[in-house]
Amino acid sequence: MTETQANSPLILALPKGRILKALRPVLHHTGFEPAQDCLDESSRRLRFPTSDAALDVVRVRSFDVATFVAYGGADIGVCGADVLMEFDYPDLYAPLDLGIGGCRISVARPKGADDEPPEGRSRLRVATKYPAIARRHFASRAINAEIVHLHGAMELAPALDMADVIVDLVDTGSTLRANGLEEVETIAHITSRLIVNRVALKTRPEEISALIERFRSAVAQSAVKEGDAA
């Protein structure tokens, strides 16, 4: 490691969207206040300083957090367990369940439909943004599945005859209901995790371990606060 790298700020990758919102109280308790516009998703800036000169934040798509951390662009990050399951990067270590962003990854199909592929088709068509998870899930049930890889709005696919079922995140279930679908099987329960690049952990062990501990205690403190509010 060069001296410049050793002195450079650590980089924390945060996901846009609902996890970022849920993460606010935890971030607050870490004591690292990111620049104001970091939590404002209309800002076009992507890298932000924090109140600690030794830590910068980058804000990326939730699906890309694991990739930024696995390739060492960021040292540490926050992402859903769904993303970890999908990519399964060996260079990532996930030391902490943040207990936020709870939801599930499930199979859903049109209300009243059955499990079989329609007549004339030998394979069940599955629309999903999680091709690896869906492939593994149906293979484990000896179901011959054809994956239709989409990046969003897969709830449309069954009604438009592109797929028989979908595999997607379900939180309140309102997106499924609004699109005439019903959840038929839960593949996994999901929460957000703190993830760390294994090389960074080896090269900057004190700093990274201290950061993990700050998050650990912030999670505990925000859980206490939530309990007080209940």
Contacts to ligand PRP by CB under 6 A? 17-18, 152, 168-175
Burial state string for 134-149 with b = 16 or more CB within 10 A and e = fewer than 16: bbebbeeeeeebebbe
SS3 of 159, please? coil
Nearest residue (CB) to ligand PRP, 190 versus 218: 190
Q: What is the DSSP letter of 156?
A: G
Closest distance of CB 173 from ligand PRP, Å:
5
Closest distance of CB 225 from ligand PRP, Å:
24
Interstrand relation of 55-60 and 10-15 (parallel, antiparallel or unpaired): parallel
Closest distance of CB 79 from ligand PRP, Å:
12
**Maximum Cα interatomic distance, the chain, rounded to a whole number of Å:** 65
Amino acid at 189: H
Cα-Cα-Cα-Cα dihedral of 57, 59, 61, 67, to 10°? Answer: -30
Nearest residue (CB) to ligand PRP, 104 versus 135: 104
Nearest residue (CB) to ligand PRP, 79 versus 208: 79
Nearest residue (CB) to ligand PRP, 104 versus 216: 104
Q: Which of 43, 8, 75, 115 is nearest to 211 (CA)?
A: 75
Nearest residue (CB) to ligand PRP, 56 versus 155: 155
Cβ atoms of 6 and 207 closer than 8 Å: no
Closest distance of CB 214 from ligand PRP, Å:
27
Closest distance of CB 77 from ligand PRP, Å:
17
